[in-house]
Amino acid sequence: MKHYMAETEHEVQATLFDWIRLNITKYPDLAVCHAIPNGGHRNKATAARLKREGVLPGVCDIHLPVPRGIYHGLWIELKVGDNQPTKAQCWFMAEMKKHGYFACVARGFEDARQIIELYLKLEARK
């Protein structure tokens, strides 16, 4: 019996951005999709410096700053396995929704890819 290691959020997000780079021709607006390196373990000095520079706990992992339909842009919090959004992440997504953004949790690569494609199929704002 083979044992497989669970995918990490890093692996899933890297795969998603590989897909994004491969699909920029099909969806040109993906060229501005970017990751927010807000998580991860840091030493106290680095964490303090980043906080002073304005790092905000809870900011979603992925941002597509392209308006579609009634939304100003898309925010995705990526989760794998049984991981749940933190209180800070829930707060941030609620704030983004309040300000006219589409913000959601994606469970793995396929979920995130589908969310992005469905979002990009909404009517482009002029």
Residues 6+ apart with CB under 8 A from 75: 60, 62, 63, 64, 92, 93, 96, 101, 102, 103, 104
pLDDT of residue 55: 84
Q: What tens digit of pLDDT does each residue of 52-92 get?
A: 888 888 999 999 999 999 999 999 999 999 999 999 999 99
Helices (H) and strands (E) in the chain, counts: 4, 4
Tokens of 106: 């994606």
Domains annotated on the chain, with CATH? 9-120 (3.40.1350.10)
pTM of the predicted structure, to 2 decimals: 0.90
